């Protein structure tokens, strides 16, 4: 019998970008189910509330099969266990991301060795993309149309 492969894709997603969507789309070719989870991190100053981020992600993913959206606080590995996920998906854009992600993966492995970490690079056209850069470009009047889902562009323009 084939095993059900469920993964969790955590992040702040403030806001979700087309780079995130690219990672989700490619993850769906590997996993049966993806739980996209917004991390509630009170130490980070987010532009959008957790609820707003969850709603934007749900809107952006409404036509995706096998994807659920949630939010959590606390330890990622504990949340992954609770959700029945045995894999954590993370995106890597540049070498600078690697050091942080490597440290997190080793700590997660120490706490929950049964949960694996998988890293996917976004397509080349999204390698430079980050939520912070999107917010900065939008706040300065730049065009972000092809870099974020339509609902995100609308919400950013209203918020900024």
Residue pLDDT, tens place only, 4-58:
899 999 999 999 999 999 999 999 999 999 999 999 987 888 999 999 999 999 9
pLDDT of residue 1: 53
Q: What amino acid positions are annotated as catalytic residues?
A: 20, 44, 93, 131
Antiparallel, parallel or unpaired: β 67-72 and 33-39: parallel
**64 pLDDT tier (thresholds 50, 70, 90):** very high
Domain range 6-159, CATH class: alpha beta
81 Cβ contact list (under 8 Å, min separation 6): 112, 115
- Structure confidence by residue, pLDDT tens digits, 88-133: 999 998 877 888 899 999 999 999 999 999 999 999 999 999 999 9
13 sits in the region (left: phi over 0; alpha: psi -120 to 50; else beta) called left
Residue 86 has pLDDT above 70, yes or no: yes
Rounded CA-CA distance 34/51 in Å is: 19
- Residue 126 is given by DSSP the state G
Residue 40 contacts residue 14 (beta carbons within 8 Å): no
């Amino acid at each position: 019998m084939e095993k059900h492969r469920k993964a969790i894709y955590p992040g702040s997603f403030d806001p979700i970008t087309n780079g995130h969507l690219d990672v989700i789309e490619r993850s769906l070719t590997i996993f049966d189910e993806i739980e996209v989870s917004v991390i509630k991190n009170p130490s980070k100053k987010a532009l959008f509330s957790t609820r707003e981020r969850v709603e934007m992600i749900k809107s952006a993913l409404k036509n995706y099969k096998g994807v659920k959206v949630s939010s959590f606080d606390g330890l990622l590995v504990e949340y992954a266990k609770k959700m029945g996920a045995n894999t954590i998906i993370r995106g890597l854009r540049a070498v600078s991301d690697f050091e942080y992600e490597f440290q997190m993966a080793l700590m997660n492995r120490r706490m929950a060795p049964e949960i694996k970490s998988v890293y996917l690079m976004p397509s080349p056209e999204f390698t430079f993309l980050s939520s912070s850069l999107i917010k900065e470009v939008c706040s300065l009047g730049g065009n972000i149309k092809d870099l974020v889902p339509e609902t995100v562009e609308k919400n950013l323009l209203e918020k900024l």
